[in-house]
Amino acid sequence: MRARYSAYALGDVVYLLRSWHPETRPVEVDVERTEVWLRLEVVAVVGGGMLDRSGTVEFVARYREGAREGELHEVSRFERVDGEWVYVDPDDADILTT
């Protein structure tokens, strides 16, 4: 999760696509270059241990876009594919702006 957050912050589209589950991976990822990612807070983790095949991560990612600040609050599903953890999809997500 932290690596994907960093990839969004740096605009690393190659990593984002590589770390996405092959069954849910989009053709391309549009990374907003106007957003400045400020902070990631991991709220909860369920599963995702060494012997698990899946897990979820609840997080809040805060960003600024111009004078506006916002946050993405999501519960993300992950699965292990070929020994690597990959992002499947959001189980639940909210985007708030101020």
Domain assignments of the chain as residue spans, ordered by start = 2-97
- Buried (b) or exposed (e) across 49-67, using 16+ Cβ within 10 A? eeeeeebbbbbebbbeeee
Topology, domain 2-97:
Nuclear Transport Factor 2; Chain: A, (3.10.450)
pTM comes to: 0.87
pLDDT of residue 78: 96
pLDDT at residue 98 is higher than 60: no
- Tens of pLDDT, residues 12-52: 999 999 999 999 999 999 887 888 999 999 999 999 999 99
pLDDT at residue 97 is higher than 70: no
d(CA 75, CA 45): 9
